[in-house]
Amino acid sequence: MRELDELKALGDPGKAAGMAAYHKAPRPYLGVAVPVIDELARGWRAGLDLPGRIELARHLWDSNVHEARIAAAKLLTQARIRPDDEVWRLIACWVPQFDAWAIADHAMKAGSRRLISDPARLDEVETWLEAPGFWVRRAALVGTLPWTSIRNPKADDLARRDRVLTWLEKLADDREWFIQKAIGWWLRDHSKHDPQCVRDWLAANGGRLKPFARREAGRWLPENRNSHP
């Protein structure tokens, strides 16, 4: 695959070893920085129609190379894609394969665009909360982060935001560190736009979170900002 060869040509074995130790997931690492991957993916995307992008993303993901999986996600990270059913199906089929935060977060950045495009897909995402693998449960929260930052939410946006807040309640007793971190992340981001909502959530459920997640959730509340550098 020419695109994978391009990535390999830019690799740095020393950086690759450090990345493997950091990310821990057992797969090949090339040692290519994300900005470089981003630039490559932009060039590939510009030269391909949608079916071509989907096919390239599929092949890059299936290579199992760390940087190739990130590039696959970046190929599909676009606000306007029509039609996008095949793109969503590909991203959704990646979710059960998540095993490290960097790949999962890049993939769900692409996935969140498809959720905003068609919020009816939240019905499918809600089923992820029952998954045995915590990466899948976490993906439901990371993929819905855009609803934390809608500046002028309409009634439907508020209903969807409130729906995800019930998901946070459901997962608040989950002891997995990455789930607790994702809950704190979601609430922290939301507090920038609706601090009272986050205060209310923490008053009702904060005691169920691990202390670090509770601190993260309240980090950007106005009353706490001076206590965090």
At 145-173, the pLDDT tens digits run: 999 999 889 999 999 999 999 999 999 99
Burial call 165-186: b when 16+ CB within 10 Å, e when fewer: bebbeebbebeeebbbbbbbbb
- pLDDT tens, 35-54? 999 999 999 999 999 999 99
Residue 174: the pLDDT is: 98
**Average pLDDT for residues 88-105, to the nearest whole number?**
98
For the chain, the average pLDDT equals 96
Query: How large is the average pLDDT for residues 101-125?
Result: 98
Pairwise CA distance, residues 27 & 64, whole Å: 6
Contacts of 186 (CB under 8 A, 6+ apart): 141, 144, 145, 148, 164, 168
Statement: residue 126 has pLDDT above 90? yes
**Domains of the chain from N-terminus onward:** 1-117 (1.25.10.90), 119-229 (1.25.40.290)
In this prediction, residue 87 carries a pLDDT of: 98
Centroid of chain to Cα 29: 20
Instruction: Kindly indicate the confidence band of residue 26, based on its pLDDT and cuts at 50, 70 and 90.
Output: very high
151: its two tokens: 């500046």
